[in-house]
Amino acid sequence: LQCVTFIKIIYIFYIFVETVSMFEKGRIYTYIGEVVVSVNPYREMDIYGKDAIDAYRGRELYENPPHLYAVSDAAYKAMKRRAKDTCIVISGESGAGKTEASKYIMQYIAAITNPSQRAEVESVKNVLLKSNCVLEAFGNAKTNRNDNSSRFGKYMDINFNFNGDPTGGHINNYLLEKVVILQKNESAFLQLLRGGCEETLKSLHLENDAALYTYTREGAATATSNNDRSSHKAVMSALEVIGFSKEEITTIYQILAAILLLGNVEFGSEGESVQILGQDTVNHISELTATDPDSVAKGLLFRTVATGGGEVIEKGHTEKDACFGRDAFAKALYERLFGWIVSRINSIIEVKNYNPVLHGKNTVIGVLDIYGFEVFDNNSFEQFCINYCNEKLQQLFIELILQQEQEEYQREGITWQHVRKTHTHTHTHTLTHTHRGFNM
């Protein structure tokens, strides 16, 4: 068998056994209906590239062995033939290879479009492809199960003209898991520390040692320096190709450096007052963020409280509160930086001056890549949100794929075997119902 679609006895056990058997033979893709199931091989495989793209270009879904390229081609052909928007949804557990799959889908679509090699279309394709590199650097982190785990949800629209050539796109990002800065190893930090030249690091008041910084100390011994160096060069190149100016790139890394230095700010107590230990770090942060040192220190040591009468007063932090506020500041700063990077990319790749009368109908292929489902002994609120999002996506899948198909069989009077739908609608409804949800 080339895919489990043709198994006569449909039980989970037989599907599992057949999938394992194919994986052991080097076949990591299989179909269940029109859905491609992928098993992450955790190694390089010679099943991608120009020759494979040529083999799947313009072919029907089952004409070749199961592959991401086949699904990508099917989505592209459906969009062109029907002149309707299509979407590819990538879901699965953390570490299942979703981010890599989205990159191969983008690679395939870029390769089969613009046969006339028009410069403006090639420019759009390059920007769309390079945006993956940048978002991966700033939105991915090392976790217990995945060395390059996406810590945000990404939905990318790729716009096409009536010829089927890409004209632009738009990226929506969701639920950036800001806690990765404190608990995990954000790729951008390690890439900067290990890939930045000595002159750059000196200007940012940093040193080429991840163990010196609180937010990267955990990953200092485990991450690979050579990969970080090459990745940093790739990200710098991608930012330039996309269209970021030198001043904007410098600002991005100044903010990253400021966040790293924030993690090293320490506090000490003298009686009831709390003080910052080491003014140099505060001075460096203020320089990198173009703010006044006193304003930085004040923001770290005090908070504003609104009274019942509308008066706003300042209240000094305890040492514990100051540490919490420092980390909250770092997370907020990173979230603003990431959001700005996404909006800046969108300002470059969005379709401009498009007139349907002159240029024909504009259609879209959407690619959804969300972070994977995980369950730990102790799960954070962020992990709860991630798992909830995956449950809702699974419900949508069941609704569209199973329920609608069965309802169509009933309308057409087709004899069919009832498929029992296993879903968690009741559970998710309980969590989010306005008057019955859990209090957190």
3-state secondary structure of 408: helix
Q: Active-site residue 34, yes or no?
A: no
Report the alpha-carbon angle 298-300-305, nearest 5: 75
Outline where 143-196 has alpha helix (H). Answer: 180-183, 187-195
Q: Active-site residue 99, yes or no?
A: yes
Report the phi/psi class of residue 168: left, alpha or beta, with left for phi > 0 and alpha for psi in -120 to 50: left
Rounded CA-CA distance 388/378 in Å is 16
Q: Which of 92, 95, 164, 299 is catalytic?
A: 95
Rounded CA-CA distance 54/264 in Å is 52
Q: Which of 72, 143, 149, 185 is catalytic?
A: 149
Q: Which of 114, 219, 374, 390 is catalytic?
A: 374
Q: Which of 150, 187, 214, 363 is catalytic?
A: 150
Stated as kind and residue range, the H or E segment containing 267 is: strand 266-270
Q: Are strands 363-369 and 86-90 parallel, antiparallel or unpaired?
A: parallel
Rounded CA-CA distance 136/120 in Å is 25
Rounded CA-CA distance 244/256 in Å is 16
Find tokens 């939905």 and name the residue. 155
Q: Which of 72, 91, 99, 140 is catalytic?
A: 99
Residue 375 token pair: 């369950």
Q: Active-site residue 286, yes or no?
A: no
Q: Active-site residue 237, yes or no?
A: no
Q: Active-site residue 437, yes or no?
A: no
Q: Which of 19, 94, 167, 231 is catalytic?
A: 94
Q: Which of 136, 195, 372, 390 is catalytic?
A: 372
Asked if residues 103 and 132 have their Cβ atoms less than 8 Å apart, the reply is yes
Asked if residues 275 and 267 have their Cβ atoms less than 8 Å apart, the reply is yes
Rounded CA-CA distance 85/78 in Å is 9
Q: Which of 146, 159, 231, 390 is catalytic?
A: 146
Q: Active-site residue 214, yes or no?
A: no
Rounded CA-CA distance 80/288 in Å is 49
Q: Active-site residue 263, yes or no?
A: no
Residue 17 token pair: 């056994």
113-119: Cβ within 8 A, 24+ apart:
113/76, 113/160, 113/164, 113/165, 113/166, 114/165, 114/166, 118/165
Query: Of all residues in the chain, what percent are helix, strand and coil, respectively (each to 5)?
Result: 50, 15, 35
**What is the number of other CB atoms lying within 10 angstroms of the CB of residue 100?**
17
**Which of 87, 166, 75 minimizes the C-alpha distance to 123?**
166
Report the alpha-carbon angle 287-293-296, nearest 5: 100
Distances from the Cα of 80 to the Cα of 37, 138, 167, angstroms: 25, 34, 14
Q: Active-site residue 102, yes or no?
A: no
Residues labelled catalytic: 94-95, 99, 146, 149-150, 372, 374
